[in-house]
Amino acid sequence: MINLLWLQSSGCGGCTMSLLNAESPDLLASLEAAGVNLLWHPSLSEQSGSEVRALLQELVDGEQRLDVLCLEGAVVCGPNGSGRFHVLAGTGVPMMAWVERLAARARYVVAVGSCASYGGVSSAGTNPAEVRGLQYDGEQRGGLLGGDYRSGAGAEVINVAGCPPHPNWITETLMGLSLEELDNRQLDPLGRPRFYADHLVHHGCPRNEFYEYKASARQASDNGCLMEHMGCIGTQAHGDCNIRLWNGQGSCTRGGFACINCTAPEFEEPGHPFVETPKLAGIPVGLPTDMPKAWFVALSSLSKAATPERLKENAVSDHIKVAPKIHTRKKR
């Protein structure tokens, strides 16, 4: 049995909302099966006030074992590095300081969501609150704990990035920690668990036939590929969103929304509207992962020349206008 403490800092609470949608099994069954003892969660636990303050102090003093520290939301370090913009109620101590003290005691530290991982939406704009992630500040290692931080088990911060992350990304990370089967070797170069981060959102996307022929959507309700005009970067985004569906059946691209690469650092400020594809000389600037520009241009031209009429029609329609032909066996 492992002890888990969950804290929330600068964020929207969306990661917890996603976690509550865990299914097959549900959240409580998943935690029980993984041998996770939830010491406290601000939304799911009954304890409050003095009870929570006493628990935190016991953990800091080493009087109670802390196996996993989960932080949801980015760390507020302002003003001027003091952390006083976010003080834990009733303690007079900045949340930033509590996180540092607890991280020094934790066997593992998990950043839940892109805000806790890299700063995320909370750090966008001029960032007057001096918001950052636990071990990253955007794309740069550092963050609150520093790039060299290692937990009690010798692990880097585990970044379950996503805005929000899929509930099973969180529960499977906790299961891996409980079984002691998730260490630095199972993390990608940005600290994300490889079981979901070694996939691309493009994998399993139902719009892939349109992508292959560059039959593109022109507006949000169209069926076609969202990459060429609608800002989708699922060919670059790390995540198994179209393989491990959300709520059993959905994903952003299945719902008609472009993938905005929310598992990546600094996705929140792409430098252009999310629903527009920036281009240079008519060629999308953000090309698919591992594809040289010359190859993309050549393949794109060939694909468009070979696009079946069915796909041309359906790509710019909100429903299937032309069904695939039915092929029958040749008579002997």
pLDDT in tens, 140-174: 999 999 999 999 999 999 999 999 999 999 999 99
Average pLDDT (209-238) is: 95
Q: Dump pLDDT digits (tens) for 18-69.
A: 999 998 889 999 999 999 999 999 999 999 999 999 999 999 999 999 999 9
Residues 251 and 150 in one domain: no
Sign of torsion over alpha carbons 269, 270, 271, 272 = negative
| pLDDT band for position 330 (cuts 50, 70, 90) | confident
Q: Residue 233 falls within a domain, yes or no?
A: yes
Question: Residue 310 sits in a domain of what CATH number?
Answer: 4.10.480.10
Residue 332 has pLDDT above 70, yes or no: no
Domain for residue 157, yes or no? yes
- Please check whether residues 35 and 101 belong to one and the same domain: yes
Would 129 be classed as within a structural domain? yes
pLDDT of residue 286: 81
Residue 283 and residue 313 in one domain: yes
Chain segment 104-132, per-residue pLDDT in tens? 999 999 999 999 999 999 999 999 999 99
Q: Are residues 233 and 208 in the same domain?
A: yes
- Whether residue 27 lies inside any domain: the answer is yes
Q: 232 with 161, same domain?
A: no
Quote the pTM value. Answer: 0.93
Question: Is 262's pLDDT higher than 70?
Answer: yes
Where does a domain end: 157, 181, 197?
197
pLDDT band at 228 (very low <50, low <70, confident <90, very high): very high
Per the domain annotation, does 329 fall within a domain?
no
Together in a domain, 187 and 76: yes
155, 182, 197 - which closes a domain: 197
Number of domains present in the structure of the chain: 2
Are both 11 and 109 inside the same structural domain?
yes
The answer on 297 and 189 residing in a single domain is no
- The residue segments making up the domain with residue 240 are 199-320
Q: Kindly indicate the confidence band of residue 234, based on its pLDDT and cuts at 50, 70 and 90.
A: very high
- Within 10 A of 42 (CB to CB), how many other CB atoms are there? 14
φ, ψ of residue 74 to 5 degrees: the values are: -75, 165
> 160 with 33, same domain?
yes
Task: Show the tokens assigned to 27.
Answer: 């959240």
Write down the pLDDT at residue 33. 92
Same domain, 37 and 168: yes
Q: 197 burial class (0-12, 13-18, 19+ CB within 10 angstroms)? A: buried
Answer yes or no: is 311 within a domain. Answer: yes
Both 87 and 221 in one domain: the answer is: no
pLDDT at 283: 81
CATH number for the domain that contains residue 157: 3.40.50.700
Widest pairwise Cα distance in the chain: 86
Residue 178 lies in a domain: yes
Which of 147, 178, 197 terminates a domain? The answer is: 197
Compute the C-alpha angle 164/241/145, nearest 5°: 40
| Statement to judge: residues 121 and 18 lie in one domain | yes
Residue 280: per-residue pLDDT: 84
Domain contains 332: no
